Amino acid sequence: MKYLIIGLGHYGGILAEELTALGHEVVGVDKDELHVDRVKDKMATSFVLDATDEAALSVLPVKNVDLVIVAIGDNFGASVRIVSLLKKGKAKRICARAVDDVHKAVLDAFSIDRILTPEQDAARMLARSLEADAEVESFQVDENNSVFKFRLPKKLVGYHANDLELEREFGLKVISLVRGNRTCNCLGISVLEHNVANEFPEDYELSGDDMLVCYGPYERFMQFWKSVR
């Protein structure tokens, strides 16, 4: 895919590097020459210009990229003006970073494709990781639901997989079982391998090396998690 990233500060610069490393074509823009110089060798094309200037913005390939990302966070006025100009310029898809609720509300009014809240998302993920003692990996799917992967707590070892009744008791749908299997490598050292099983026998007995993947509301998952810890 082809991306246009406007704002190459810490967030936008890392985003440009990562997308390029994944094989995408990235065009980067910033009015600060130092920001551009720092990452220009890691992008297909870069521009030093003020994207709040409509005439300057018109030289960018706004209509020829798959997604424009406005990564500016510290200048509310610049972020909003650039999004407005991109909508006027008929950009195919637009994502923009918001640093607070007011910023997010204003961007919402433009009906852009996605509003990015990296600071809030990172803080939320850390808080949830700390609450779950860092034994749970989670991915938020929408406002209400997440996917959770966790190693089986000791209280559940020996249960049959279908005896857990997570959906009935906690509203959590089990997506898959990740079976843990201890084997010896070529050096004779015991190693733990994991294999995903989307279907498993009703009489399969869960072990301490197994992991489960489930889907549902975060609050309901924490009710379950605290009940088995």
- Domains located in the chain, CATH noted: 2-118 (3.40.50.720), 128-228 (3.30.70.1450)
Written as tens digits, the pLDDT of the chain (229 aa) is 999 999 999 999 999 999 999 999 999 999 999 999 999 998 999 999 999 999 999 999 999 999 999 999 889 999 999 999 999 999 999 999 998 889 999 999 999 999 998 888 777 777 776 666 657 888 888 778 899 988 888 888 888 877 888 888 999 998 888 876 656 656 556 554 556 666 666 677 888 888 888 999 989 999 998 888 7
Structure tokens belonging to residue 122:
């990172």
For 159-209, write each residue's pLDDT tens digit.
887 788 888 899 999 888 887 665 665 655 655 455 666 666 667 788 888
Q: Quote the longest CA-to-CA distance of the chain.
A: 68
Sheet with 25-30: strands ordered across: 45-48, 25-30, 2-6, 67-70, 94-97, 114-116
Q: Is the pTM of this model over 0.75?
A: no
Supply the pLDDT for residue 192. Answer: 46
Distance of alpha carbon 160 from alpha carbon 23, whole angstroms: 44
Supply the pLDDT for residue 132. Answer: 65
Query: Phi-psi region for residue 162, left (φ > 0), alpha (ψ -120 to 50) or beta?
Result: alpha
For 165-178, write each residue's pLDDT tens digit.
888 899 999 888 88
Distance of alpha carbon 22 from alpha carbon 207, whole angstroms: 37
Distance of alpha carbon 65 from alpha carbon 6, whole angstroms: 13
